Every structure is written in structure tokens, then in C-alpha cells.
Amino acid sequence: MKHLLFFGTIISSILLGQVDKSMDLCSRQNSFAKWLSIENMMTENQERINITFYDLYFKIFPDDQSINGLVSATAIVVDSGLTSIDLDLMDGYEIDSVQINGQNAEYTYSSNLMSIQLAMVGTPDIGSEIVATIGYHGDPQSFDFGSFTFDEHQGEHLIWTLSEPYGARGWWPCKDDPSDKADSVNIVVNVPDHLIVASNGSLISEESNPNGRKTYYWQESYPIATYLVSLAIYPYQYWEDTYINADGDSLSLTYYVFPDHYGSLYENYLETKDMIGLFEEKYGAYPFFDEKYGHAEFGWGGGMEHQTLSSMGGWSDWLIAHELAHQWWGDMITCADFHHIWLNEGFARYGEALWAEYDEGIDAYHTYWANHAYYGGGTVIVENTTTVSEIFNGQLTYNKAGWVVHMLRHVVGDDVFFNMLNAYANNDSLKYASATTEDFRDVCEDFTGLDLHDFFDQWIYGERYPRYRVLYDTSPENVLSVQVNQIQSWQLFHMPVDIRITTTDSVYNYFVDQTGESTLYLFEIPDSETILNVELDPDNWILKSVEVMQIGQEPPLPGAFTLNSPFPNPFNGRINIPFSIGEDSNLSFSIQNIMGQTVWEKHAFYPNGKHIINWQGRSGNGADLPSGLYFFTIQSSKKSLRQKILYLK
């Protein structure tokens, strides 16, 4: 929304005192907590190696629900005195062979860990390369979490993996930690020959073998975290498409679907190209451009952002946008550990809202955030990474984390924000590697020159949101005093806030820094104008509650709901539509033309109080509308009110 010119100036802002309050930490509910006996804690030995390459071979027997695996892990030694190599592998497999640099090696295998002795290669020097090779077989489903699943669809075998957060060790031995990505991975899979194997990276070859079997050889040549390595296996129907970028380079898109879903999915997937274009414009080049992007249907009712090939159990725009956004945020830059999972999921949520904005306009973007607000307790940073439900908490890890990205956009400003995300995407030490909250904060601070410690501390490590109470006074004339108070019983927030002042002649927008319990701002308003309304953060860039009161005026009575005369009416440029509500409400606004067609709509949360909504004669996607008579409707859960407005250009 464009800001009109403002004539008033801030003549002073006075800090009336700041009182620190200790944080009110609330206990969290984990009603369906699923405890795992494992977490991504590295062993001491694992911290002394850097994995460079995995060579994975699986022979899969769907009828027996078993696999034979032969896995080589190549590691560079980064610390002295290493006598063994530790790889995570869930208990329960039969181990057939264990070798170090091609020679049989002693090992132990218990508590979901293989520890392989390096005796035959001596104590390796720093910088030397070690290859550990393990042959094993068994049923990967014998663990109580479904990282590797023998499933079925329409009577056919469906085999799929979903390894986030700690499931890779459920089907292959690895250093299962997202802070140490392999530089590349080969994924070779032998299956009955009616099955098609879809996986990460590029398909190098497919080869028919004796006894009715077939081998697929996939290669991921970009760095990849263990949890992003995936298999999706079925007699798929698949098709290819091509995305052409701004330089004319092409990226191949491959979609694997169940044949009975082809008809209903084809149209949905066509939008993927537009989404890649949008995200390339906002975030920079698609990270795996030399390989592919694609989708593979699987048996879980959601999506999973497997690198270069998202696994899909739904087909909505938002899911497609979400998993695609993860290719930048989650796959190219991965959370260093699952305390910082919001860097994956908050950014993927943000991708959904960006798509809404691109597809339907800025009001749809704001509606998205109104519908994904979370006001409860708990921190975005994950305290306990052994609980899967806590890592993937829908309200904190997804919705509030997405709000943090949304809020950051306004704190730094639109142009700066997207350039800043580009800087993050292209940071030499983070690109194709892993990041913590602090790494991201440092990039933002370096790029903007702002001190964002308070911002990240309060929103990522702190709980809840600010509750603002705004008191304004229009006397003496020409000076408007606006006192912004934070009235919550928990931590205080430090945010820049928008203050919008609507007068008989103008709309003034200010962006002021607010910190502490109470801040007083004084605004000079021209003599000729009467102040009609004051709003704080009217466009909902802050996760907050707010109440605004004029000194000497009663707030609306509980249950009140009134729509006042819009002004100016007729209008040219911008019309202001005042309304008041006596309680916090989710409201729908819409504008119909004389044919009864809805030409604009918006849904938003409004607190108890007086408000003004503006309209500029444009449709939701920004198209200018013709002059004429329109009807403005505002609807609460209880009633709907309507006013005629006349647009004259």
C-alpha cells in the first residue's frame, strides 16, 4: 500500500521510563509427545571427521519387506588421535561386512551406533581420507518411526522414505547430523523391474538386470544433509516439463504421480514453474539448477522437501510453494541442528504467503498472516530436540516462525528485505551448508547495519507478543500526543511501529521506534485539520494485540458494531471507511460493483475500538477499476453492514 505524503512532523518523542520485567515462561503442552531414544547429538569421534561422500547401494525386496544395503562413507579426518569412526545405524540389522579403506575391520554395533576400529590404517593424520564400507541387511520398518516404509497403493508396492529429523540412520549408516553435509551422494537402487525409483539429483542410468530386476543410478552432486536423501518407489506415471530462467537457461522438472491421480494433479503441478520464477526473483537462482526439480507422490499426508524432489501427499498451491521454498531454505541452507528448525519451516511458510501475494495481491498476503497468527506461549527456538512434536510444532516452528520472517520484512523495509535474503542465500559460509539463528541474524545485521539482537531475542528466544494500549489526546490544538504502552505481564518488546493518523484532509504515516513500557510521541498537525483516528500498526506487520483510546472519549460499548460514513464520498484516489467494534473480531470486508460482483475483499483481525479502512479503487490484484457506484460491506460473525461509495476518476 502506498503511503500518502505527510505534512506533520514528529516534534519530539519522549521515553517515559522503561521497566524490565522478567520473562514469564510458560510450560508447554506435548499432548502427543513421541519420545525418541535418539537425538542428533554427535559422538566425540563424529566431531573429528568431515563427511565428503556417501555411496549408497540398496537391493530392495518388497515382498519380504527387507533391504540389502552396501554403504560407503568417505570422511576427512579433522582432528588428531582418531582411533575409530562412529556411524549412526538403528539397531536390528544383520551386519555382513565392515571395511576400512578396503580391509576388514573390527567394529561394535549397539545403542544405534556402529563404531569401527581404524587399527589397520593406524592413527590417521589430519587431512587424511578414510572410507568406511558396511554391508548389512534386514527390515528397516522394525523401528517405531517410519523413515523407510513398505506401503501399497491400489494393490501395488509403494516404498517411500521420510527421514527428517533422525530417520536416515533407520535405513543407512551415516553421520546423521545436518551440520555435516556430504559434498555429493550416489544412490543406486535395485528393485523388481516393474517399479520406478525416484530420488535426489540426476538419473545417471537405469539398467535391466537378470531375474526380472532393474537398477536405478541417481547422483546428487550438490551438498546434501542425510535427512534429505530420499527414495520414492512405485510404478509411477511421470512427465517432464521445463522451466526457463531469465538468462534463458533451462531446468528440467519431473513429476512422478500415481497413475490414478494423473488427471487431477497435472493442472496443479503446472503452477510450479511460476513459483520457481517468483522465488528466483525474490531469493536468487534455484539452488540445484544443474539437476532438476520435481515431485514424487508418497504415502504420507503432507509434503517433505527432499532435495530436488519433494515428496508430496497433497497438491494444494500452498503445499507446492512450501516445499519448493524449502529448496532454498532447508535444503541449500539447512538448520545446523533442530533447535533452529524455524530457519527451515518459518521460511517455507513465508513462501506460501509470497505466493499468495504474487497470485492474488498484497491483501491476500496480509490475510494469510491474519489466518496464521499464534498468540500462545512457547519459544520459536526448539528447546527439546528429542521430541518430534516439539520440533515440528505447527504454531511455533511454522506459524510464529513465519510471522518472524513477515515482521522482519517490515522492520528492514521491502527492498532491503529481499536483497538481504539474497545475501543470506549467497553467503559463502552458509550457502550449501548449515546455519543457526545467530548466523542468519549476523547476515541481516551486516547487510542492514541495524542492531537486530532485540528482534531475534524477543521473537525467537522469548515468548508471546506485545499487547499495546495506545492513548491519544488532541488537545492542545495542532499537537497530537500519542502514548504507546505495553501492558502485557510478560517480556517487553522492542519494535519499530507504524502510527497512522487520519484527519479530515490527510492520512499521515509514521514509523517510530518503540521500546519499554511506555513511550510518548508528539505530532504536529496543521491548524485546518481535525484528527479523526489514530491507529497503531494498521496493516498488521506485528504479531500483537492493540487497543486505542482517545483521552476523554469512551471506547465502543461491548457488542457495538457500527459502520460510519465513508469520506470523501465521492472519492478519487482513496476513500476512508470508519467503523467501530466493541470486541476483538475477525472481520471480512468486500466491495461489490453494481452487477453484484465482488471486486475486492480482505479478511483481518481487528481489536476492540475505532478503525478506518482505506480503499484505492483497485481490485485485489491491483488492477484499476472503472468509475462508478460500489457497495462496501463489512461482516463480523454476527452481522453485516453496508455503505454506498462512489468512485469518480
Q: Does 532 bind Zn ion (CB under 5 A)?
A: no
Q: CA 429 to CA 333: how far, in whole Å? A: 10
Cβ atoms < 10 Å from Cβ of 188: 20
Which residue in the set 188, 232, 309, 348 belongs to the binding site for Zn ion (CB under 5 A)? 348
Strand, coil or helix: 90: coil
* Nearest position to Zn ion, beta carbon: 348
DSSP 158-182: EEEE--TTTTGGGTS-B---TTS-B
Q: Which is nearer to Zn ion, 162 or 542 (CB)?
A: 162
CB 155 within 8 A of CB 72: no
Q: Which is nearer to Zn ion, 301 or 476 (CB)?
A: 301
Amino acid identity of residue 272, one-letter, is: T
Shortest separation between residue 306's beta carbon and Zn ion, angstroms: 11
Strand, coil or helix: 447: helix
Q: CA 608 to CA 513: how far, in whole Å? A: 24
Shortest separation between residue 452's beta carbon and Zn ion, angstroms: 24
Q: Which is nearer to Zn ion, 177 or 345 (CB)?
A: 345
Q: Which is nearer to Zn ion, 293 or 541 (CB)?
A: 293
Strand, coil or helix: 59: strand
Shortest separation between residue 325's beta carbon and Zn ion, angstroms: 8
Shortest separation between residue 348's beta carbon and Zn ion, angstroms: 4
Q: Tell me the backbone φ, ψ of residue 234, rounded to 5 degrees.
A: -170, 160
Q: Which is nearer to Zn ion, 348 or 546 (CB)?
A: 348
Q: Which is nearer to Zn ion, 303 or 617 (CB)?
A: 303
Q: CA 556 to CA 534: how far, in whole Å? A: 15
Q: CA 72 to CA 602: how far, in whole Å? A: 55
Q: Which is nearer to Zn ion, 350 or 490 (CB)?
A: 350
Q: Which is nearer to Zn ion, 401 or 495 (CB)?
A: 401
Q: Which is nearer to Zn ion, 112 or 311 (CB)?
A: 311
Shortest separation between residue 302's beta carbon and Zn ion, angstroms: 8
545 burial (CB, 10 Å; 0-12 / 13-18 / 19+) is: middle
**∠ Cα 177 178 180 (to 5°):** 80
Shortest separation between residue 344's beta carbon and Zn ion, angstroms: 6
Secondary structure (H, E, C), 587-618: EEEEEEECCCCEEEEEEEEECCEEEEEEECCE
Mark 84-103 with x for binding to Zn ion (rule: CB under 5 A) and - for no binding: --------------------
Shortest separation between residue 392's beta carbon and Zn ion, angstroms: 8
Mark 154-193 with x for binding to Zn ion (rule: CB under 5 A) and - for no binding: ----------------------------------------
Mark 308-347 with x for binding to Zn ion (rule: CB under 5 A) and - for no binding: -------------------------------------x--
Shortest separation between residue 326's beta carbon and Zn ion, angstroms: 5
Whose cell is 519494535? That residue is 495
Applying CB under 5 A, the site for Zn ion has a residue count of 2
Cis amide leading into 568 (omega within 30):
yes
Shortest separation between residue 350's beta carbon and Zn ion, angstroms: 11
Q: Which residues bind Zn ion (CB under 5 A)?
A: 345, 348
